[in-house]
Structure 1
Amino acid sequence: MGNTTLRALAAPLALLAMAGGAAAPAFAQDANTEARLKKAEAEIRALQRKVFPGGDGKYFEPQISPAQPTGTTATGAPSTTAVTDILARLDAMESQIARLTSQTEENTNAIRQMGTRLAALEVTAGAAASADRPAAADANLSAMTGGASRPTPAPAASKPAPTPSPPAARPAGPTAERLAAVQAIAKPQTDDPGDDEYSYGFRLWDAGFFPEAQQQLSLFVEKYPRHSRISYGRNLLGRAYLDDGKAKEAAPWFLKNYQTDKQGARAPDSLLYLAETMMAMKDTKRACIALAEFAETYPAIASGRLRSQYEADRAKVKCN
């Protein structure tokens, strides 16, 4: 019985011994692994301190860092703030664009209304401007000649003549024949409306309809003061008055065309016609001054393109 009891106890002891022998290596292996991990972490931290001095991540955030508590992290806040700022800026820009668009539309509408009003007042404004031009031009002419040789008429006396200039030539109204003749003169229709206005005025003047030409050319010079034909327009407007027997109204236009741009295409012609206008007004002194100015300013043209007209004008007056 004693042997049997010993054998019965030996079996469990053997099993315990075997289990203990197997557990010992496992415990040793876990401890070894833990030590190796701790060593590797220490070496990495040392390497981080070498590469990133200070260890506070101000250069680059280290790949291994202390664990952070779960939940909303600080890294999400800047991204959300940046997106919010961008959206806010886009909203502000859209609001500004909407305001600018609205203001542009209002300005465009206001300009359109002003253009409509100006177009409606063109005829009356042109007549009023024509009434003021003779007095101003007489003052310029007096300055050019170094003082008037005789008193110039008061502005009030000169205003009634140009103000009703187109209707004054036809106080009883145009005849049917004249209306038909004027309507027969076609107005050009090209891609240059300024040139069309001038060309139509030229056709009226060339056909002998001087009052109509005066009105048309006045409209051209008022509406297109910077057109390439402006020198032609002012000169022809002076001729339309001169050919209509209105020397006083013609003189300001010739003088203005010469003084405004002495290199203009028809500035020499205007100065020569100014001399003829002074002759028509029996002002020999100013006529001689204009002829002398012409010869001095345009010697090549005086001996070339306008030679015949210049010599004919000189023969009409006796200048010292």
Structure 2
Amino acid sequence: MAATAMPVAAQDDGEARIRKLEAEVRALQRKVFPGGDGRYFEPQITGQPAAQPSTASTTSTTAVTDILTRLDALEAQLQRLTAQYEVGSNAMRLLEERIEVLEAGGTATSAPAQVAAAQPATQPSATQRPAAQPAAQQPAASQPSPERVAAVQAIAKPQTDDPADDEYSYGFRLWEAGFFPEAQQQLTLFVERYPSHWRTTYGRNLLGRAYLDDKKPNEAAPWFLKNYQSDKGGARAGDSLLYLAETMIALKDTKRACIALAEFGEAYPALAAGRLQGQYERNLGKVTCS
């Protein structure tokens, strides 16, 4: 009786596994082939009919073998459907990126060049914009020249096994080449898409610098402040605090500049006496703090 019970128990466990796998396969089929059309669904896998056993032991053994065969088939089908779903998801992501680029008004043939050549996504708030000019004096919306588009296209986007780092590195290359509006858009895309990546502290800091270098301190300040407050131990948190002081100096806000400089000297003494010493001392020399 014990010998007979063991195959029966295995049969029960196998049947439970089959029901679980069949449910997972059906759920995955609905993701891979939405619409519920029956023609898209493979029939449930069934085992071959077992031969009529001559003894109870033979019956149990044949049933367990049949269950294992069905399990193998279900697991293989689940793997195939998972692969199809991943391929489809990746294709959808690439399509969405291309649509975003087209909606942004890009004209280049490659997606990175279209993103880079487009105008910056972040616009000043209503309080930051200058007073409206008479209609006759309204300047036409500036568009990138063909020479600028070609120069941006010449900047290659890295292609590594870390797509998030590639997005940041591409923004850095744009900033380094002096294409500040294009860098602003690219870095904004990076920090919004990858808020938890290890490069994000670099991305927010560099985004602030891209605005500051573009003579837009009002847009730069929120990014420096956010990067510092989000993670004060981040690799570029100290840099952002010091650049925040520099931004306040550009805005002629001496009080806030002094607060930021004092906090930087207290919170990051190693940076103040090391890598950022020159910048720190230059900023101290631009203001008179009480």
Same fold (TM over 0.5): yes
Give the structure 1 partner of residue 272 of structure 2. Answer: 302
1:179-190 paired onto structure 2 within 5 Å = 179-190=149-160
- Change in Cα spacing, 1:191 to 1:76, as seen in structure 2 (3 Å) is closer
Cα distance change of structure 1 residues 205 and 97 upon mapping to structure 2, 3 Å threshold: closer
Counterpart CA distance in 2 for 1:294 and 1:205 is: 25
Q: Is the 8 A contact 1:131 1:158 kept in 2?
A: no
- Structure 2 residue matching 1:282: 3-state secondary structure: coil
In 1, Cα distance between equivalents of 2:158 and 2:62: 62
Aligned residues of 1:188 and 1:196 also touching (Cα < 8 A)? yes
CA offset at residue 95 of structure 1? 6.2
8 Å contact from structure 2 (residues 164, 194) kept in 1: yes
Match of 1:111 among 89, 94, 97: 89
Q: How does 1:201-280 map to 2 (within 5 A)?
A: 201-280=171-250
Answer whether contact 2:245 2:261 (CA < 8 A) is retained. yes
The answer to whether the 8 A contact 2:205-2:240 is kept is yes
* 1:37-52 paired onto structure 2 within 5 Å: none
Kindly tell me: are residues 186 and 297 of structure 1, through their superposed partners in 2, closer, same or farther at Cα, counting changes over 3 Å?
A: same
Which sections of structure 2, spanning at least 5 residues, go unmatched? 1-52, 105-114, 131-138
Classify the secondary structure of the residue corresponding to 2:234. coil
TM-score by length of 2: 0.60
User: Which residue, 253, 268, 285 being the options, matches 1:315?
Assistant: 285
What amino acid does structure 1 have at the position aligned with 2:151? A
Q: Is the 8 A contact 2:121 2:185 kept in 1?
A: no
Deviation (angstroms), 1:82: 1.4
The structural deviation recorded for 1:157 is 4.8
Once the 2 structures are TM-superposed, how far is the Cα of residue 131 of structure 1 from its aligned partner? 4.7
* Rounded Cα–Cα distance in structure 2 between residues aligned with 1:170 and 1:279: 32
What corresponds to 2:134 in structure 1? none
Q: 1:80 to 1:198 in 2, by over 3 A?
A: closer
Structure with greater proportional helix content: 1
- Per-residue deviation at 1:107? 3.6
Cα distance in 2 for residues equivalent to 1:296 and 1:249: 26
Larger Rg: 1
CA gap 1:260/1:117 in 2 versus in 1, 3 angstroms: farther
Displacement after TM superposition at 1:159 (Å): 9.9
User: What stretches of structure 1 of length at least 5 have no aligned partner?
Assistant: 1-74, 135-154, 161-168
1:147-158 alignment runs, 5 A limit: 157=127
CA contact under 8 A between 2:211 and 2:220: conserved in structure 1?
yes
CA distance 1:265–1:122, change in 2 (3 Å): farther
Cα distance per residue 1:236-281 (max 9 Å; x no partner): 1111101111112111211122222222222211110111112223
Separation of aligned partners in 2, 1:241 and 1:296: 26
Give the equivalent residue in structure 1 for 2:60.
82
Change (3 A) 1:159 1:108: farther
Tell me, yes or no, if the aligned pair for 1:122 and 1:219 is still in contact at 8 Å: no
How many pairs were matched up? 217
Query: Residue 260 of structure 2 aligns with which residue?
Result: 290
Classify 1:259/1:234 alpha carbon distance in 2 versus 1 (closer, same or farther; 3 Å): same
Structure 1 runs of 4+ aligned residues shifted over 6 Å read 124-127
Deviation of residue 211 (structure 1)?
Answer: 0.9
